A and B are shown apart, each in its own frame.
Chain A
């Protein structure tokens, strides 16, 4: 729901001339780039618990973050007031990174990123040998909004939201007589942003984000089990529909019979089939983070010296995408004012791009990829993923399972952890099946999948033709939390460690 420029200027009580003054103030001590990030967020949450919607609330968050760069070094400060004095004070605090006493305050235009080269394309070894596209600054365009809003959450009546949650919880309860507890939550937010930098670029955006989630406790005899389901989009309150209730309530009980039956299997090294969709979290954690350019710039990533090289078999392509309509990870502009875009990280098995913010793009001499993201105005932007997924291959998913003599099938992970330098990962499996002689047999749970990200990528031996981007409420934490999504087709990995019984 992109509004007019005046709407954002009035929301934050600033003018273009004041923003120019602030950007210049940040550069006063010798910094070579500065930017301003204004945010006004309104968030609401409601909870259904013990049979009724008895809890609700909202929060208001407002302020401006001011960043000054000196080379790759960052100075950052923020103010919860947008009074001129408070912002000048923040700009000076951020400018301290430059550390000199230079007093000429003119906002110098910097000739350091790829857009400043004369030709539309520039060759770069740092981009997998491909030409770097000339930087396109973009302009806010309501007609191209990736998350248009019909009904603004800020004016959606609490009674309507509470009625939706009650109906959803009732629908879940009706699905299974073993259900003893249902918690349903609805959280929504609308954020207005205004961005300005020392290039003189002004961008603005309004981002909606809403999540409906249920947590269900089941009891069968003396055994208890739990399940959770969620759906999350960048959209307005028009998402509160009967179709959504049907989708989430079905998801909340899906596989519960198998979960009660499931056992912890014998562990060891075996073939693992990743189910399409939510298994993409493994791609995000175990490989995606290692593609973020800050880890590579600092030499910490296992992929630091692999640009332009084959890192997995032909036929595998991995994308990080900000352009999916209403997707949780989508962006019109990133938090540095760079247009949201679709970035191919791996093309046909070759590493072709890291995920860049302005700092790393400058370091590598490439165009920013629109991955500069932050949790709020309180944080400086970092290279972060958006919607990260593997493109579909040419194998039939049933054929993939049929090809496995002994292994496991998993489609629901949680609590993944990865060590960026080593690439080692561990993921907890919520649900899955043993595969024996090409067929899914015993349900399994309470196990871990362990491996090494780059090695697992290299060990992929089949990619299904069923790519799915999951619609759950994924949040990435890298010191800051940002909404993301993930996806993958059915994939067969040849030899991961499954931590199970002896």
Chain B
């Protein structure tokens, strides 16, 4: 392996990839029946600011080799960041020793080669690599981080900003001849501000942006957005408990989709730990809910051509007009359950819009309700779908915000909640890999 970064795209050099292939050969020679090697390099530079001054700079470069070893009907995984040709044989021998001490598991296998990605040869196919990363230097990074700062401002007690740019280079090979690679850059800026009202109460606000391409990063918008979010919380008031229309802002609406997607995971279903265990092909959700996986959308966060096994992703329907169309089923879980193998997880899920516009248009349409802008703790029960989430946000009437609400909790069950979906906007956040717009639900239980 090498530290040399002076290459056009990605971090891996041909000799690094050869090392991964030689690891497979060693595994077979030492008695493995099959193996997969996952070689991952990443580099990141970060500049953090505190109150308008540089507070921290960091540089990191990570390398890891993970071996998935199948031997004598048994299976284990082993990783190291100390990889050299000299130490590889010993590392794999130790791995095989561990594998042979386990119980056999006939369901463990590599994916059928026909399901794997054959179109991820260079790692650049999805357009997630920005050559601009090669031209970044400490001065440019400081300039971006300091340029995005809004310090000083009246009422601002503290401002912590963080700019980073990174490259990740993932190379996956197996003993069937599978070979795939993905190279990504990422440019990110996030800022948290703390403000104080006249009574000395403190409130914080956070905003962030991220993009695979530097030219699409809107760092300058983050500070004002964070400040606005912090100051909007002044003077929170109690509100009558009851059932309300609930509008969930695009920044946080993914929190409600995540437990649904988790319940579609094959592992949860196999372990009987999913409230959607028997839902495949059934209409569980309303007509107006469609969720698709935009796994192969070029140039977008979360997109990928292959999953952790090297299985090819596809743009697919997860929930179509309320019908559950897909579980996320690995090769192993497919063999355990008899379910059709798919991919290990969704990549870039998107809730399809039911109307144009965002929270403003939805609040106008609903007239009265509570706008949720943040979640604060809580949980959902994976086996029952019952949830109880702490939320923060604003009471609105006639489409206009009245005041912030505090110590609010929403309770219910996820299937009922999603069946009360009344609107999904079209205001997706570009930086998020989960494309969830502002959502609206009716008859949500709020207590406080």
Contact = CB atoms under 8 A, between A and B. Distances in A.
Given A50-B336, A502-B447, A57 B81 contact: no
Interface string A71-103: 011111111110000100110011011000000
A164 to B, nearest CB: 13
A421 B203 CA distance: 6
A11 to B, nearest CB: 12
B388 A73 contact: no
A332 interface: no
A300 B58 CA distance: 23
B388 A499 contact: yes
B242 A157 contact: no
Interface string A462-502: 00000000000000000000000000000000000101111
Interface string B314-328: 000000000000000
Contact of B378 (A75, A162, A415): A415
Contacts of A346: none
A224 to B, nearest CB: 4
Interface in B204-225: 204
B390 A53 contact: no
Interface stretch (A196-204, A237-245, A309-317, A425-433): A425-433
Contact of A300 (B56, B157, B387): B157
A206 B74 CA distance: 32
A395 interface: no
B378 A58 contact: no
A72 B204 contact: no
A419 B204 contact: yes
Contact of B78 (A52, A58, A183): A58
B237 interface: no
Interface string B78-117: 1111100000000100110111011111001000000000
A414 B379 contact: yes
Interface residues of B, number: 73
Contacts of B204: 300, 419-422
A299 B158 contact: yes
Interface stretch (B10-18, B59-67, B167-175): B59-67
A289 to B, nearest CB: 13
B138 A96 contact: yes
Nearest to B233: A422
A451 B447 contact: no
Interface stretch (A60-68, A336-344, A350-358): A60-68
A159 interface: yes
B97 A158 contact: yes
Interface string A151-176: 00000011100100000000000000
A418 B202 CA distance: 13
Interface stretch (B177-185, B304-312, B344-352, B403-411): B403-411
A158 B377 contact: no
A67 B138 CA distance: 17
A54 interface: yes
A138 to B, nearest CB: 27
A77 B383 contact: no
Contact of B389 (A72, A86, A448): A448
Given A180-B272, A268-B447, A446 B411 contact: yes
A159 B94 CA distance: 14
Contact of A225 (B57, B74, B101, B383): B383
B448 interface: yes
Interface of B: 3, 50-51, 53-63, 74-82, 91, 94-95, 97-99, 101-105, 108, 138, 157-158, 160, 194, 201-204, 241-243, 271-273, 336, 375-379, 381-384, 386-390, 406-409, 411, 445, 447-448
The 5 lowest CB-CB distance pairs between A and B, nearest first, are: A499-B409, A426-B377, A426-B390, A417-B377, A158-B101
8 contacts: A61-B81, A63-B81, A75-B58, A96-B138, A378-B60, A422-B202, A451-B407, A501-B447
